Chains A and B, each alone.
Chain A
Amino acid sequence: MPRLSYRKALNRALADELARDEEVFLLGEDIRVAASAVTAGLLKRFGPERVRDTPLSEQAFTSFATGAALVGARPVVEFQIPALLFLVFEQIVNHAHKFPLMTGGQCAVPVTYLVPGSGSRTGWAGQHSDHPYSLFVHAGVTTVVPATPADAYGLLVSAIRCDDPVVVFAPAAAMELRAEVSDPAPVPLGRGRVHRTGDDVTVVAVGHLVHDALAVADELAGEVSVEVFDPRTLYPFDWDGLLASVARTGRLVVVDDSNRSCGIAGEVIATVVEQVRLHAPPRRVTRPDGAVLPFAPALDRAVQPGRELLRQAIAHVSKDG
């Protein structure tokens, strides 16, 4: 079976959608030379009208994409750095997201915001290491965090075809993954995936942390039977899929690269305990409250959710009840 890298999967999704739909175009900084590698080869194939390199004017080019979408285009905006989403939160949340309702359904804003390399890249320090997907969940903007090359392809394709704004976070820690993918296909938004079935505990893992969860589940095999649930889309969340899993296992741990307060882990736990009587209090493994990733590698790792904390959380929920 052919092997596909996560980065190449994003590249292929962009190329396939550019080829399929004339209304798709790309905007972003240094995309003509593919600084993040996800636009490699696209300038040559599709030309500078559809692979538009931008000046360092994130707010203007994000709103430019909104305007183009209002008249039927399907822009994909690449952001080199996850923290740039703070700068354009206004343009995405206060404009793009709100226009359909505020105009009484006169328009759609089908823009895809792509962040290749979200979260820690190790050594990129405080202003280049954020993972702000929970902010967009809170705002009600469709938000996806693919964990695998197949999902990176399939979710990016679906994001581009979606009539609403969609933010696609491609975690830095997943960008170098390779997997056997025979036939890349669209993956529906809002549908999770059980990566590994288990009977004792449901671990919800977001993005690159899916692979940590799978590794820990492997280690614990024989002691605890862990089911790993990857929501893939954080908004809208696949509550039915998760509730079906937790209804069987009765125990829940969430591992999430958000800051703790108001992160998606809190929402997952709240929604589950509203509807399911668990055998033990649920646990979450997250970044600390108010996290700023320090530069030194040991410090950077110390504030990210890791396998040791996940093992402890699984042990806690397995023991209780």
Chain B
Amino acid sequence: MSGADPIRLYRTVRLIRRFEERAIELVRSGDIVGGIHPYLGQEGIAAGVCAALRPDDVVAGTHRGHGHVLAKGADPGRMMAELCGRVTGLNRGRGGSMHAADFAVGVLGANAIVGAGGAIVTGAVWARRRRGEDLVGVSFLGDGAVNEGMLLEAFNLAAIWRVPVLFVCENNGYATTMPVADAVAGSISARAEAFGIRASTVDGQDPAIVHAATAAALGRMRADGGPEFLEARTFRFDAHHTFEHAVRLDYRSPEEVARGRSRDPVQIAGSRLPDAERAAVDADVEAVLEAAVAQALAAPEPDPATALEYLYASGLTARTGGG
């Protein structure tokens, strides 16, 4: 695969950045309830990885998952409507920030349980390849997930059954507030290597580097079928969750945050564009998000009488809780 289009990479990181900033405004205004886990600072990873994917490839995301959903191609307006709990949302207002899914573009869902996506995407890719499709899958995960047993089991299954899943570890240095150094024995990439999975570590702040590493891995995976592991070193610019905006948790020094924020994927990707081109992308992204927010806030909220809709795919109706 050739190098990614720098305009496309910049547009994606810019879109995610502004989406998250607009979403945080909506958390503050009360239009988004429950808060969000902002992806700010990590945009280069979703942008770089998803630029190397085909539309038929599938991804599974995390609780910090807005970037994955947007980069894979979900509509920002329907994503914002989902965060606002509206019927026009990707999940018709049933999932919210932590469960956003768009099967039409290959997003099998963000998952709020750390480490849960790995085996799910492995099964999905295996089942579709059994039908003769040559897709691959991506399981996004954080550094916290490498201490979850079910993820390590998923590494093993993908490896012994040679299922082409790229496990992308977004190592932002902290599992909520727990530093990697205090939580991970050995190294993160060695976890994957122990299962015979080829692993590499890249600078996650530069979407072009992430893209190149992903494209190389996917090329090998499509050819011979096995999984690979990519550790992308990154920095979370904002809170673990927006609740931290009200309740300050003391685990990162101001100096560490300033140092981390100095390597900004939006600036890194943007610096590769001529000023006029960058300004045009910025204007376009602003217009998309203006429309997204307006559409989300104008959309109706779900009817409480439909609260149990979609509970059973078989059409089973549940007894209600009344007397």
**B-contacting residues of A (Cβ < 8 Å)?**
49, 54-55, 57, 59-73, 75, 90-91, 94-95, 99-110, 140, 142, 162-164, 190, 236
Contacts and interface: CB of A to CB of B under 8 A. Distances in A.
A75 B126 CA distance: 12
Interface centre among A104, A140, A142 (most CB of B within 10 A): A104
B127 A57 contact: no
Interface string B35-57: 00000000000000000000000
Interface string B85-126: 000011111110001011100001101010010111111111
Given A95-B116, A101-B310, A101-B311, A60 B94 contact: no
B123 A67 contact: yes
Contacts of B309: 101, 105
B150 interface: yes
B92 A164 contact: no
A108 B120 contact: no
B318 interface: yes
A104 B94 contact: yes
Contacts of A102: 91, 94-95, 99, 101, 109
Contact of A64 (B101, B103, B157, B313): B157
B103 A163 contact: no
B103 A59 contact: no
Given A60-B119, A67-B120, A95-B116, A104 B153 contact: no
Interface string B291-315: 0000000000000000011111111
A103 B150 contact: no
Interface residues of B, number: 47
Interface string B181-192: 000000000000
Given A55-B157, A67-B123, A104 B95 contact: yes
17 contacts: A57-B156, A60-B119, A60-B122, A60-B153, A60-B154, A62-B119, A63-B118, A64-B122, A65-B123, A101-B308, A102-B109, A104-B310, A105-B310, A105-B313, A106-B91, A107-B101, A164-B314
Contacts of A104: 89-95, 310
Interface of B: 58, 60, 89-95, 99, 101-103, 108-109, 111, 113, 116, 118-128, 130, 149-150, 153-154, 156-157, 160, 308-316, 318
A73 B154 CA distance: 19
A7 B125 CA distance: 33
B101 A61 contact: no
Contacts of B312: 100, 163-164
Nearest to A109: B313
A103 B112 CA distance: 13
Contacts of A107: 101, 103, 313
Nearest to A110: B313
A163 B314 contact: yes
Given A64-B157, A68-B126, A103 B316 contact: no
A107 B93 CA distance: 15
A137 B33 CA distance: 31
Contact of B128 (A49, A71, A140): A71
B127 A72 contact: yes
Contact of B314 (A55, A66, A90, A162): A162
Given A63-B119, A101-B308, 4 more contacts: A55-B153, A64-B126, A103-B94, A106-B91
Nearest to B92: A104
Contacts of B92: 104-105
Nearest to B95: A102
A97 to B, nearest CB: 9
Contacts of A60: 118-119, 122, 150, 153-154, 156-157
A157 B153 CA distance: 30
Residue of B93, B103, B310 with highest tally of chain A CB at under 10 A: B310
Contacts of B94: 101-105
Contacts of A63: 116, 118-120, 123, 150, 154
A66 B120 CA distance: 6
Given A57-B156, A100-B311, A64 B123 contact: yes
Given A57-B153, A94-B113, A104-B310, A70 B91 contact: no
A104 B96 CA distance: 10
A164 B313 contact: yes
